[in-house]
Amino acid sequence: MKKLIAAFLTLTCLWCSSCSEDFQVTAPYKDITFVYSFLSMQDNAHYIRIQKAFLDENKSAVEMAKEADSNYYQNLEVTVREISGKNILNNFPLQKVDMAQEGLPKDTGSFFDNPSYAYKFTHKLDPQYNYRLVIFNPQNGYSDSSEIKIVDTTKLYLSLSSNSKFKFDKTIPANTSKYNLVILNNPGSNIKYMEGFIRFFWDDKNIVSGDVIRKSADFLLDSRPTGSSSQEVMTTSNQSFYYFLKSVMGDAPDNHERYLDSCDFYVYAGGVHYYNYRLAKTFHSGLTADQSQPIFTNIIGKDIYGLFSTKAVAFKLQVPIDTATMDSLMLNSITNPLRIKGTANH
C-alpha cells in the first residue's frame, strides 16, 4: 500500500521527536519494541515486521543502526490467532524470514539493509473474523498483543467502466472545473480511511537520437476518512492536473517531445487503527501543539509501540486519456511548454 506503508517511518519519527530537551539520550539499555504490519485479504503471504529500538549509553545510535543484532530479537514466538467472538478458530505460528529472500529487499541507506527480517504466515484471511497478533519474548517474559478486523476488499470498487476514458479537458483550465472519481464502498467493508492516486505515464523522446525514456508520476487525488455513505467521491480541480504535469515533466529540453500513455487509477484503503493513527497525528501537530507528542500504538504490552492494521487496494489499469483532453494539454499555456505531441505508440 504505497502511502500507508510510510506510516511506520512516521511512527518511528514520532517516538524520536517526542523527546524533550531534558531527555537522557544515553539511558541504560533496555528492550523497546516496534511492530509494523498491514494485513490484507488480497495477499497470499502476510508479513509482520518486529524490531528493537536501539538505545545504549555505551554505543553510538548511528553505529547501532548499522548492526542487525541491535535491531532484531534472537528468539521471539509470534502467533496470529483467527477469532470468532470468544472462540479461537485457528492458531498460526509465524516463521522468521529474510525479506530479501522473499523478493522484498530493503532499501539501502544509513541503516543496515541485510538481513531484513520479518515474520510470515500464509492463510486466506476472512473479514468476518478478527485477527489477534501475539508476541512472546522468552528472554524477558513479555507478552504483547493486538487485535484487528480485516478490511473486506470485495466491497470496494472504482466506478469506472471498461470503456471509460480519463477526461479533464479545458483549453484554459480553471479551478471551477472539477474532476470526480466515484468509489463504491459498500457497508460492512471496515474501511475507515482512503487515499486515491492517478499514475500518469509518458515517453520522453529525443527526436534527434530517437532515444525514448519511459517515465511516470503519481498524482494524489484525495486522502481522507470515509463517510457513512456507500458512495465516496474524490474531487479535484481540472487545473490541478495541468500544474501537476508541468511540475513533474518540466519544460521539454531542446529536441525533445513527450507522448502520454494511459493512466492507472488506485484507491488504497486502511482500517480503523490506521485512521486513529492519522487522527492522533492531526490532533497533535501544528503551531499550537505541545512540544511533546504522544506515541500512537495499538499494541498492548510493556515497552512496545507500533501499528498493526489492515489494508486494501482497488485499481483500474490502462485508462486512456480522451482526445479532447489530449488536445487541451497540447494547446493550453500551462502545459504547452511540455511539448506533449500525442499518445504513446505502445
- 218-240 burial by CB neighbour count: b if 16+ within 10 A, else e? ebebbeeebeeeeebebebbbbb
pTM for the full predicted model: 0.80
Contact 310, 37 (CB under 8 A): no
Instruction: Give how far Cα 113 sits from Cα of 68, 71, 75, 99, 311, Å.
Output: 8, 11, 20, 10, 25
Q: Which residues, in sequence order, are CB contacts of 86 under 8 Å at separation 6+?
A: none
Nearest to 232 by CA among 310, 165, 158: 158
Predicted confidence at residue 104, as pLDDT, reads 82
In this structure, what DSSP letter does residue 261 have? Answer: -
Percent of the chain with pLDDT over 70: 80
Higher local confidence (pLDDT), 108 or 253 = 253
Q: How many CA atoms lie within 13 A of 36 on its CB side?
A: 17
Contact 168, 245 (CB under 8 A): no
Average pLDDT of 312-332? 95
Predicted confidence at residue 93, as pLDDT, reads 97
Least confident of 64-73, 127-136, 164-173: 64-73
Q: Kindly report the average pLDDT of the chain as a whole number.
A: 84
Percent of the chain with pLDDT over 90: 63
- Indicate whether 31 pLDDT > 80: no
Predicted confidence at residue 37, as pLDDT, reads 96
Predicted confidence at residue 13, as pLDDT, reads 40
Cell of 7: 506510516
User: Helix, strand, coil shares of the chain as percentages rounded to 5?
Assistant: 15, 40, 45
d(CA 332, CA 48): 48
Higher local confidence (pLDDT), 117 or 52 = 117
What are 60-98's pLDDT values in tens digits? 555 555 555 667 888 899 999 999 999 999 999 999 999
Average pLDDT of 311-330? 95
Average pLDDT of 291-320? 87
d(CA 306, CA 273): 11
- Indicate whether 336 pLDDT > 50: yes
- Indicate whether 286 pLDDT > 60: no
Taking phi over 0 as left and psi of -120 to 50 as alpha, with beta for the rest, 131 belongs to beta
Strands 304-319 and 33-39 come out as parallel
In whole angstroms, what separates CA 169 from the centre of its chain? Answer: 30
Which residue matches cell numbers 502476510?
A: 46
Predicted confidence at residue 212, as pLDDT, reads 96
- Indicate whether 142 pLDDT > 90: no
Predicted confidence at residue 272, as pLDDT, reads 94
Predicted confidence at residue 283, as pLDDT, reads 63
d(CA 39, CA 7): 14
- Indicate whether 27 pLDDT > 70: no
Query: Residue 320 in 3-state DSSP?
Result: coil
**In DSSP terms, which residues pair with 178 in a beta bridge?**
237
Average pLDDT of 292-313? 86
Cα angle, residue 37 at apex, residues 283 and 296 outer, rounded to 5°: 25
Confidence of residue 7 (pLDDT cuts 50, 70, 90): very low
Contact 231, 185 (CB under 8 A): yes
- Indicate whether 308 pLDDT > 80: yes
- Indicate whether 106 pLDDT > 70: no
Confidence of residue 172 (pLDDT cuts 50, 70, 90): confident
Predicted confidence at residue 296, as pLDDT, reads 84
- Indicate whether 12 pLDDT > 50: no
Residue 298 burial (CB count, 10 A) = 19
* Distance separating the N- and C-terminal Cα atoms of the chain: 27
Looking at the chain, how many residues does it have? 346
The dihedrals phi and psi of 341, each to the nearest 5 degrees, come to: -110, -5
Contact 252, 336 (CB under 8 A): no
